[in-house]
Amino acid sequence: MTDIKGKRILLGLSGGIAAYKAAELTRLLAQAGAEVRVVMTEAACRFITPVTMQALSGNPVHTDLWDASVPNNMAHIELSRDCDAIVVAPASADFLAKLALGLCDDLLSALCLARECPLLVAPAMNLQMWGNPATQRNLKQLRGDGVAIFGPASGDQACGEVGMGRMLEAEEIFEEIDACFQPKVLAGKRVLVTAGPTFEPIDTVRGIANSSSGKMGYAVARAARDAGAAVTLVSGPTALAAPRGLERIDVSSAREMYDAVMARVAKADVFIGVAAVADYRPKEAKGHKLKKGTGEMTLQLEPNPDILGTVAARKNAPFCVGFAAETENLEAYADAKRRRKKVPLLAANLAQHAFGADDNQLILFDDEGKHELPRAPKLVLARALIGHIAGLLPKK
């Protein structure tokens, strides 16, 4: 599901209570097929033991700048030479300051200075330390030096205070590491994605909806972000957390989704309509709960606006990608929809096999014909879709 398999990750731990999360991060990386080597500072060893990290990584843990077990006693050189990335989690305020100034008085800081691979850090510290001007100056310097900084988040801290400085959770850091290995095929592009179902109110408590979970749309938004795009996600009602690093706009009805898209589409280079938008809505939504009667009830419906068709018909329209969820005659209906909407690319799937599931199967239709993507986790399909889109975009 990820591109971490086979990668060599050097995981560094500096001192901080968040060091316990590094254990779970090590487990996630190892489960994904990465080779993990752990380097700990003296302070980190006061929060979690090298034995724990060795058991989880399956490799010896290094703590000493003068480690004689490394060839030529050059641990600060040898340990990073075959690495695909160095990840420091947690990265304390002190360690960030070392990195910003180029100080290297221990093994981990020396490795970071002597590296030839990307450096990724996950800060963790007290909220006052995070907000201190010195820390913020150091972060600005590190960003300018090309260091990737993950987080932090706001939340409860070990000191009993609440605020910015809490290290991201292990799974969030894992996703950020995975994103760093993705090709940046949409770098500099602005992508607008719709996802999830819509809810069309009948009265104040009832409405028309569908069983779309939003998982495919959220996977597409994440894949576009991982490909280097600036992403805006317009989402119908879902229980999903939005991927980090993008703008999320929450809507409910098809008209709200239409308005949100139209307000933002002029700035988009790519529009991907993944949402399962209701074709119709009740003509009149009651302002009170309808009481149950003894006979039949007639509900008059009227069409919702065509979001994809309207975007595709715009002057200077973005590159438009539609989705078709069918229950039968998939290829015929999907190809007809693409031609009717006049979009360059349409992704089709069977709704009964896709809604709510963690995996999917897609057929892509474009001017060259059809391209089948076999059943796989939705993130894998989303990344394949983004790669296909990138190949169709006009080259400058």
The 10 Å Cβ neighbour count of residue 137 is 12
The residue-averaged pLDDT of 138-157 equals 93
- Cβ atoms of 333 and 284 closer than 8 Å: no
pLDDT of residue 310: 95
pLDDT above 80 for 353: no
Task: Report the phi/psi class of residue 228: left, alpha or beta, with left for phi > 0 and alpha for psi in -120 to 50.
Answer: left
pLDDT of residue 190: 97
Fold of 190-392: Rossmann fold (3.40.50)
The 10 Å Cβ neighbour count of residue 18 is 28
Pairwise pLDDT comparison (316 vs 394), residue with the higher score: 316
pLDDT of residue 74: 63
Which pLDDT band holds residue 189 (cuts at 50, 70, 90)? very high
Q: What is the second-level CATH architecture of the domain 8-180? A: 3-Layer(aba) Sandwich (3.40)
| Helices 19-31 + 170-180 axis angle, to 10 | 50
pTM metric for this prediction = 0.86
Catalytic residues: 159
Which pLDDT band holds residue 96 (cuts at 50, 70, 90)? very high
Which DSSP letter does residue 94 get?
H
- Cβ atoms of 155 and 166 closer than 8 Å: yes
- Going along the chain, which residue ranges are E strands? 8-13, 35-40, 61-62, 85-91, 119-123, 148-149, 153-156, 162-166, 190-195, 200-201, 207-208, 230-235, 247-250, 270-273, 280-282, 301-303, 319-326, 345-350, 359-366, 369-377
Domain boundaries, the chain: 8-180, 190-392
pLDDT of residue 142: 97
Tens of pLDDT, residues 238-252: 999 988 889 999 999
Tens of pLDDT, residues 196-241: 999 999 988 888 888 888 999 999 999 999 999 999 999 999 999 9
pLDDT above 60 for 396: no
Which DSSP letter does residue 213 get?
-
Judged by average pLDDT, the poorest of 40-44, 76-80, 82-86 is 76-80
Pairwise pLDDT comparison (243 vs 137), residue with the higher score: 137
pLDDT of residue 357: 73
Average predicted confidence (pLDDT) for the chain: 90
Task: Report the phi/psi class of residue 331: left, alpha or beta, with left for phi > 0 and alpha for psi in -120 to 50.
Answer: alpha
How far is 117 from 124, CA to CA, in rounded Å?
22
